Amino acid sequence: MRTMADEVTEELLTKILEFFKKKNKMLTSRDVAAGVGIENALAKKALTVLVNDGRLEFTSYGGATFIKLPENPA
């Protein structure tokens, strides 16, 4: 059974983008999940959508994968 909590909404995407702008640094999916109060699995889904849209980008640093705002937003 799927609940609304499992869905990636535009409202959630906006909330995540605002969180990134406020923090202004590279974050992990766990940071995002904790910061906006959602489960890590949902954070990963939402982050994938934002990366695919070009609103965020993945970056590797020291063997870990982080997500950040793009240097040159389209």
pLDDT in tens, 25-56: 999 999 999 999 999 999 999 999 999 999 99
The pLDDT confidence band at residue 61, using thresholds 50, 70 and 90, is: confident
Domains and CATH numbers, the chain: 8-68 (1.10.10.10)
Model pLDDT, residue 1: 44
2 band by pLDDT with thresholds 50, 70 and 90? very low
Task: Enumerate helices (H) and strands (E) in the chain, giving the number of each.
Answer: 3, 2
Instruction: Using the predicted structure, report yes or no on whether residue 9 has a pLDDT greater than 50.
Output: yes
Q: Are 51 and 57 in contact (CB under 8 A)?
A: yes
CB 36 within 8 A of CB 12: yes
